[in-house]
Amino acid sequence: MKESNKIKTETHPCYSKSAHQYARMHIPVAEKCNISCNYCNRKYDCVHETRPGVTSKLLSPEEALARFKLVKSKVDRLQVVGVAGPGDALASFDSTKRSLSLIKNEDPDLTFCLSTNGLLLPKYQAELVELGISHVTITINAVEPKIGAQIYERVNYRGQTLSGETGAAVLLKNQLIGLKYLAEHGVICKVNIVLLKGINENHIEDIVKTVKQAGAYMTNIMPLIPVAGTPFADLPLTSKVELDYLRGKCEANLKQMYHCQQCRSDAVGCLSKDRSLEFKQEEEQLEA
Protein backbone atom coordinates (compact mmCIF):
# COMPACT_ATOMS: atom_id res chain seq x y z
CA MET A 1 0.00 0.00 0.00
CA LYS A 2 1.28 3.51 -0.89
CA GLU A 3 2.24 5.52 2.22
CA SER A 4 -0.35 8.24 1.44
CA ASN A 5 -3.13 5.66 1.11
CA LYS A 6 -1.96 3.91 4.27
CA ILE A 7 -2.53 7.12 6.24
CA LYS A 8 -5.88 7.70 4.50
CA THR A 9 -6.93 4.15 5.37
CA GLU A 10 -5.94 4.59 9.01
CA THR A 11 -8.08 7.73 9.24
CA HIS A 12 -11.08 6.42 7.26
CA PRO A 13 -13.71 5.46 9.84
CA CYS A 14 -15.11 2.63 7.69
CA TYR A 15 -11.78 1.03 6.86
CA SER A 16 -10.26 1.33 10.35
CA LYS A 17 -12.37 0.84 13.44
CA SER A 18 -9.83 2.82 15.46
CA ALA A 19 -10.58 5.88 13.25
CA HIS A 20 -14.00 6.34 14.88
CA GLN A 21 -13.18 9.92 15.90
CA TYR A 22 -12.97 11.01 12.24
CA ALA A 23 -16.05 12.18 10.38
CA ARG A 24 -17.24 11.33 6.90
CA MET A 25 -19.77 12.99 4.66
CA HIS A 26 -21.87 11.31 1.97
CA ILE A 27 -22.97 13.62 -0.83
CA PRO A 28 -26.24 12.31 -2.32
CA VAL A 29 -25.55 13.19 -5.94
CA ALA A 30 -25.95 9.82 -7.69
CA GLU A 31 -29.53 9.62 -8.83
CA LYS A 32 -29.57 6.85 -11.40
CA CYS A 33 -28.94 3.15 -11.19
CA ASN A 34 -28.33 0.61 -13.93
CA ILE A 35 -29.28 -2.62 -12.22
CA SER A 36 -32.22 -3.72 -10.16
CA CYS A 37 -31.44 -5.52 -6.91
CA ASN A 38 -34.34 -7.43 -5.39
CA TYR A 39 -33.81 -5.75 -2.01
CA CYS A 40 -33.61 -2.14 -3.19
CA ASN A 41 -36.06 0.67 -2.74
CA ARG A 42 -34.59 4.14 -3.09
CA LYS A 43 -36.85 6.48 -1.24
CA TYR A 44 -36.03 10.16 -1.28
CA ASP A 45 -37.18 12.75 1.17
CA CYS A 46 -37.22 10.31 4.00
CA VAL A 47 -35.97 11.57 7.35
CA HIS A 48 -37.08 8.64 9.44
CA GLU A 49 -35.21 5.79 7.86
CA THR A 50 -31.53 5.03 8.19
CA ARG A 51 -30.33 2.68 5.54
CA PRO A 52 -28.43 2.83 2.26
CA GLY A 53 -30.36 4.42 -0.59
CA VAL A 54 -32.24 6.88 1.59
CA THR A 55 -31.66 10.62 1.40
CA SER A 56 -33.68 13.68 2.29
CA LYS A 57 -32.81 15.34 -0.97
CA LEU A 58 -30.84 14.72 -4.13
CA LEU A 59 -28.10 17.34 -4.60
CA SER A 60 -26.59 18.87 -7.72
CA PRO A 61 -22.76 19.08 -7.76
CA GLU A 62 -22.95 22.79 -6.86
CA GLU A 63 -25.32 22.07 -3.98
CA ALA A 64 -23.00 19.30 -2.81
CA LEU A 65 -20.11 21.78 -2.74
CA ALA A 66 -22.22 24.26 -0.77
CA ARG A 67 -23.20 21.54 1.73
CA PHE A 68 -19.58 20.50 2.03
CA LYS A 69 -18.54 24.04 2.94
CA LEU A 70 -21.29 24.24 5.55
CA VAL A 71 -20.43 20.83 7.03
CA LYS A 72 -16.71 21.58 7.06
CA SER A 73 -17.31 24.72 9.07
CA LYS A 74 -19.27 22.78 11.72
CA VAL A 75 -17.93 19.23 11.88
CA ASP A 76 -14.58 18.51 13.52
CA ARG A 77 -12.11 16.14 11.90
CA LEU A 78 -14.02 15.83 8.63
CA GLN A 79 -11.72 13.46 6.82
CA VAL A 80 -13.70 11.67 4.13
CA VAL A 81 -16.13 12.70 1.39
CA GLY A 82 -17.84 9.96 -0.56
CA VAL A 83 -20.64 9.18 -2.98
CA ALA A 84 -22.84 6.34 -1.75
CA GLY A 85 -26.07 6.68 -3.63
CA PRO A 86 -28.97 7.00 -3.50
CA GLY A 87 -28.38 5.29 -6.89
CA ASP A 88 -25.09 4.12 -8.31
CA ALA A 89 -22.07 6.45 -8.32
CA LEU A 90 -20.97 5.29 -11.78
CA ALA A 91 -24.42 5.15 -13.39
CA SER A 92 -24.50 8.85 -12.49
CA PHE A 93 -20.83 9.41 -13.32
CA ASP A 94 -21.00 13.00 -14.61
CA SER A 95 -22.59 14.15 -11.40
CA THR A 96 -20.24 12.07 -9.23
CA LYS A 97 -17.16 13.30 -11.05
CA ARG A 98 -18.13 16.96 -11.02
CA SER A 99 -19.11 16.91 -7.35
CA LEU A 100 -15.90 15.24 -6.20
CA SER A 101 -13.80 17.50 -8.43
CA LEU A 102 -15.41 20.66 -7.04
CA ILE A 103 -14.85 19.51 -3.46
CA LYS A 104 -11.32 18.35 -4.21
CA ASN A 105 -10.56 21.77 -5.58
CA GLU A 106 -11.73 23.24 -2.30
CA ASP A 107 -9.88 20.74 -0.08
CA PRO A 108 -7.39 18.48 -1.86
CA ASP A 109 -6.21 16.80 1.35
CA LEU A 110 -9.48 14.97 1.97
CA THR A 111 -9.93 11.27 1.38
CA PHE A 112 -12.33 10.61 -1.51
CA CYS A 113 -14.32 7.43 -1.84
CA LEU A 114 -17.36 6.03 -3.60
CA SER A 115 -19.46 2.91 -3.67
CA THR A 116 -20.78 1.18 -6.76
CA ASN A 117 -22.39 -1.99 -8.00
CA GLY A 118 -19.38 -2.24 -10.33
CA LEU A 119 -21.20 -2.63 -13.65
CA LEU A 120 -19.47 0.39 -15.17
CA LEU A 121 -16.05 -0.05 -13.58
CA PRO A 122 -14.35 -1.16 -16.83
CA LYS A 123 -15.59 2.08 -18.42
CA TYR A 124 -14.58 4.45 -15.63
CA GLN A 125 -11.84 2.70 -13.62
CA ALA A 126 -8.99 4.70 -15.19
CA GLU A 127 -10.81 7.97 -14.54
CA LEU A 128 -11.37 7.04 -10.92
CA VAL A 129 -7.64 6.53 -10.46
CA GLU A 130 -6.93 9.81 -12.24
CA LEU A 131 -9.49 11.63 -10.09
CA GLY A 132 -7.60 10.53 -6.98
CA ILE A 133 -10.33 8.34 -5.49
CA SER A 134 -8.35 6.34 -2.95
CA HIS A 135 -11.10 4.05 -1.62
CA VAL A 136 -13.80 2.23 -3.59
CA THR A 137 -16.53 -0.07 -2.32
CA ILE A 138 -18.04 -2.61 -4.70
CA THR A 139 -21.11 -4.58 -3.69
CA ILE A 140 -20.72 -8.17 -4.86
CA ASN A 141 -23.44 -10.49 -3.63
CA ALA A 142 -22.60 -13.54 -5.73
CA VAL A 143 -19.71 -14.95 -7.72
CA GLU A 144 -21.86 -17.52 -9.52
CA PRO A 145 -24.32 -16.24 -12.14
CA LYS A 146 -26.85 -18.86 -11.03
CA ILE A 147 -27.00 -17.26 -7.59
CA GLY A 148 -26.69 -13.72 -8.94
CA ALA A 149 -29.74 -14.37 -11.13
CA GLN A 150 -31.85 -14.72 -7.98
CA ILE A 151 -30.61 -11.37 -6.65
CA TYR A 152 -30.62 -9.06 -9.69
CA GLU A 153 -33.85 -8.66 -11.57
CA ARG A 154 -32.31 -6.62 -14.40
CA VAL A 155 -28.94 -5.39 -15.56
CA ASN A 156 -29.03 -2.51 -18.03
CA TYR A 157 -25.81 -2.54 -19.99
CA ARG A 158 -24.85 -0.80 -23.23
CA GLY A 159 -28.47 -0.16 -24.17
CA GLN A 160 -29.62 -3.71 -23.46
CA THR A 161 -31.72 -5.02 -20.62
CA LEU A 162 -30.27 -8.31 -19.47
CA SER A 163 -31.93 -10.63 -16.98
CA GLY A 164 -31.32 -13.98 -15.31
CA GLU A 165 -27.87 -15.54 -15.50
CA THR A 166 -26.91 -13.46 -18.55
CA GLY A 167 -27.28 -10.21 -16.63
CA ALA A 168 -25.66 -11.59 -13.50
CA ALA A 169 -22.68 -12.90 -15.51
CA VAL A 170 -22.04 -9.52 -17.17
CA LEU A 171 -22.26 -7.77 -13.81
CA LEU A 172 -19.88 -10.23 -12.15
CA LYS A 173 -17.36 -10.05 -14.98
CA ASN A 174 -17.25 -6.25 -14.81
CA GLN A 175 -17.07 -6.22 -11.01
CA LEU A 176 -14.01 -8.48 -11.01
CA ILE A 177 -12.29 -6.65 -13.90
CA GLY A 178 -12.78 -3.36 -12.05
CA LEU A 179 -11.71 -4.69 -8.66
CA LYS A 180 -8.53 -6.14 -10.12
CA TYR A 181 -7.69 -2.95 -12.03
CA LEU A 182 -8.30 -0.65 -9.07
CA ALA A 183 -6.33 -2.85 -6.67
CA GLU A 184 -3.42 -3.01 -9.13
CA HIS A 185 -3.47 0.78 -9.35
CA GLY A 186 -3.23 1.30 -5.60
CA VAL A 187 -6.91 1.96 -4.83
CA ILE A 188 -8.03 0.37 -1.56
CA CYS A 189 -11.12 -1.72 -2.32
CA LYS A 190 -13.76 -2.93 0.10
CA VAL A 191 -16.36 -5.41 -1.06
CA ASN A 192 -19.80 -5.20 0.50
CA ILE A 193 -21.80 -8.41 0.58
CA VAL A 194 -25.47 -8.40 1.57
CA LEU A 195 -26.27 -11.63 3.39
CA LEU A 196 -29.50 -12.95 1.88
CA LYS A 197 -30.82 -15.95 3.77
CA GLY A 198 -31.81 -18.81 1.53
CA ILE A 199 -30.08 -17.14 -1.43
CA ASN A 200 -26.37 -16.54 -0.83
CA GLU A 201 -25.73 -17.41 2.82
CA ASN A 202 -23.79 -20.57 1.96
CA HIS A 203 -21.94 -18.84 -0.85
CA ILE A 204 -20.37 -15.99 1.11
CA GLU A 205 -17.09 -17.71 1.92
CA ASP A 206 -16.64 -18.32 -1.84
CA ILE A 207 -17.30 -14.63 -2.54
CA VAL A 208 -14.68 -13.63 0.03
CA LYS A 209 -12.09 -16.00 -1.47
CA THR A 210 -12.78 -14.77 -5.00
CA VAL A 211 -12.58 -11.07 -4.18
CA LYS A 212 -9.45 -11.59 -2.13
CA GLN A 213 -7.81 -13.11 -5.19
CA ALA A 214 -8.91 -10.13 -7.25
CA GLY A 215 -7.25 -7.73 -4.79
CA ALA A 216 -9.91 -6.70 -2.24
CA TYR A 217 -8.53 -5.17 0.97
CA MET A 218 -11.48 -6.23 3.11
CA THR A 219 -15.08 -7.40 2.96
CA ASN A 220 -18.11 -6.04 4.77
CA ILE A 221 -20.77 -8.71 5.20
CA MET A 222 -23.98 -6.85 5.99
CA PRO A 223 -27.43 -8.02 7.04
CA LEU A 224 -30.32 -7.43 4.67
CA ILE A 225 -32.62 -4.60 5.76
CA PRO A 226 -35.92 -5.87 4.31
CA VAL A 227 -37.92 -3.10 2.71
CA ALA A 228 -41.68 -3.34 2.08
CA GLY A 229 -42.66 -3.58 -1.55
CA THR A 230 -39.45 -5.26 -2.70
CA PRO A 231 -39.19 -8.94 -3.76
CA PHE A 232 -37.00 -9.67 -0.71
CA ALA A 233 -39.29 -7.95 1.78
CA ASP A 234 -40.06 -11.25 3.53
CA LEU A 235 -36.62 -12.84 3.62
CA PRO A 236 -35.66 -13.89 7.16
CA LEU A 237 -33.50 -11.53 9.22
CA THR A 238 -29.92 -12.30 10.17
CA SER A 239 -28.88 -11.88 13.80
CA LYS A 240 -25.66 -10.16 14.86
CA VAL A 241 -24.48 -13.50 16.32
CA GLU A 242 -24.98 -15.25 12.96
CA LEU A 243 -23.31 -12.41 11.13
CA ASP A 244 -20.29 -12.27 13.42
CA TYR A 245 -19.89 -16.03 13.24
CA LEU A 246 -19.69 -15.85 9.44
CA ARG A 247 -17.40 -12.82 9.55
CA GLY A 248 -15.15 -14.71 11.96
CA LYS A 249 -14.94 -17.66 9.55
CA CYS A 250 -14.13 -15.35 6.63
CA GLU A 251 -11.55 -13.43 8.66
CA ALA A 252 -9.20 -16.39 8.24
CA ASN A 253 -9.01 -15.35 4.58
CA LEU A 254 -9.48 -11.60 4.54
CA LYS A 255 -9.90 -8.61 6.86
CA GLN A 256 -13.54 -8.13 7.88
CA MET A 257 -15.56 -5.07 8.78
CA TYR A 258 -17.64 -5.48 11.96
CA HIS A 259 -18.77 -1.90 12.58
CA CYS A 260 -20.75 -0.86 9.48
CA GLN A 261 -23.75 1.31 10.34
CA GLN A 262 -25.50 0.85 6.94
CA CYS A 263 -25.67 4.60 6.59
CA ARG A 264 -27.94 6.86 4.60
CA SER A 265 -26.80 8.35 1.30
CA ASP A 266 -26.64 11.78 2.95
CA ALA A 267 -25.00 10.70 6.23
CA VAL A 268 -22.75 13.25 7.93
CA GLY A 269 -20.47 13.01 10.96
CA CYS A 270 -18.89 10.19 12.91
CA LEU A 271 -20.27 6.71 12.25
CA SER A 272 -21.83 6.56 15.72
CA LYS A 273 -23.95 9.71 15.25
CA ASP A 274 -25.60 10.78 12.01
CA ARG A 275 -25.99 14.57 11.78
CA SER A 276 -27.64 14.71 8.33
CA LEU A 277 -30.94 16.07 9.72
CA GLU A 278 -29.18 18.94 11.43
CA PHE A 279 -27.72 20.11 8.11
CA LYS A 280 -30.99 19.60 6.25
CA GLN A 281 -32.68 21.95 8.73
CA GLU A 282 -29.85 24.45 8.51
CA GLU A 283 -30.01 24.50 4.71
CA GLU A 284 -33.78 25.02 4.84
CA GLN A 285 -33.30 28.00 7.15
CA LEU A 286 -30.68 29.48 4.82
CA GLU A 287 -33.04 29.03 1.84
CA ALA A 288 -36.04 30.59 3.66
Q: Please give the backbone phi and psi of residue 159, each rounded to the nearest 5 degrees, phi first.
A: 80, 5
SS3 6: helix
**Of positions 70, 223, 262, 277, contacts ligand SF4 by CB under 6 A:** 262
Nearest to 32 by CA among 102, 117, 90, 81: 90
**Of positions 36, 50, 166, 253, contacts ligand SF4 by CB under 6 A:** 36
Nearest to 78 by CA among 16, 26, 134: 26
Which range of residues in 60-68, 80-88, 142-150, 171-179 is near ligand SF4 by CB under 6 A?
80-88
**Of positions 25, 29, 37, 168, contacts ligand SF4 by CB under 6 A:** 37
Nearer to ligand SF4, 117 or 150 (CB): 117
Nearer to ligand SF4, 53 or 61 (CB): 53
Here's the x/- map for ligand SF4, 214-253, by CB under 6 A: it reads as ------x---------------------------------
Show contacts with ligand SF4 in window 128-187 (CB under 6 A): none
Nearer to ligand SF4, 65 or 271 (CB): 271
269 binds ligand SF4 (CB under 6 A): no
The helix or strand, by DSSP H or E, that contains position 221, with its residue range, turns out to be: strand 218-223
191 binds ligand SF4 (CB under 6 A): no
Instruction: Tell me the DSSP string of 147-195.
Output: HHHHHEEEEEETTEEE-HHHHHHHHHHHHHHHHHHHHHTT-EEEEEEEE
11 Cβ neighbours under 8 A, 6+ residues apart: 19, 22, 79, 80, 111
Nearer to ligand SF4, 33 or 179 (CB): 33
Is residue 193 within 8 Å of 212, Cβ to Cβ? Answer: no
**Of positions 27, 35, 75, 78, contacts ligand SF4 by CB under 6 A:** 35
225 Cβ neighbours under 8 A, 6+ residues apart: 39, 51, 262
Minimal distance, residue 162 CB to ligand SF4, in Å? 14
For helices 61-74 and 276-287, give the axis angle rounded to 10 degrees.
110
14 binds ligand SF4 (CB under 6 A): yes
* HSE, side-chain direction, 13 A CA sphere, residue 237: 6
Residues that contact ligand SF4, how many (by CB under 6 A): 20
Minimal distance, residue 129 CB to ligand SF4, in Å? 21
